[in-house]
Amino acid sequence: MEHSSNPYLEFRKKYLRPLEKRENRFNDWLAVKITNIVGTMWCAYAFAGLALISLPAAIAGGTATLIQWIAQTFLQLVLLSIIMVGQKVASEKSDRQLEQTYKDAEALLKINNEIQILLRQNTELTQEINEVVKNGKKKRS
């Protein structure tokens, strides 16, 4: 009852390794560091505080200046970090779902492999039973 492993499982082991990090180069490393700092709620709070410093001047400048301050200063500074935090949370959730799907698919491949082994054993045993039945009928004849 010799069984060979599923070829796809062997392929996955060899070629579908987890992605290797690209943070080896300086620019990649720096980009990740800055993104990790700017993409926090603490940074959003700091940007909000920074933007609020210029609020009195914007109010004194009139309606147009105030609208410009809201659109160009406050929203851009604060929303940048908040959007980055939201994307990070969504990405982490997606990564968890992807990892679980990968584990489920891998488990199903293993189960399928075990089913194949059992089917081969069943086939071999059925053939042996057929041989015994045939030989038994020949002896009676």
**Predicted confidence (pLDDT) per residue in 2-53, tens digit:** 556 667 767 766 666 555 555 567 888 888 899 888 889 999 999 999 999 9
Query: Measured between alpha carbons, how far is 28 from 24 in angstroms, rounded to an integer?
Result: 7
- 2 in a structural domain: no
Tell me phi and psi for residue 16, to 5 degrees.
-105, 55
The answer to the question of residue 1 being in a domain is no
Does any domain span residue 136? Answer: yes
At 47-87, the pLDDT tens digits run 999 999 999 999 999 999 999 999 988 888 889 889 999 99
Instruction: Print the domain residue range for 86.
Output: 7-140
Identify whether 70 is part of a domain: yes
- pLDDT for position 14: 67
Q: Would you say residue 116 lies in a domain?
A: yes
The number of domains in the chain is 1
81 close to 47: Cβ distance less than 8 angstroms = yes
**pLDDT at residue 3 in the model:** 59
Look at residue 125 and tell me if it is in a domain: yes
Provide the greatest CA pair distance for the chain.
115
Looking at residue 31, its pLDDT comes to 87
Q: Which amino acid, 22? A: R
pLDDT of residue 123: 96
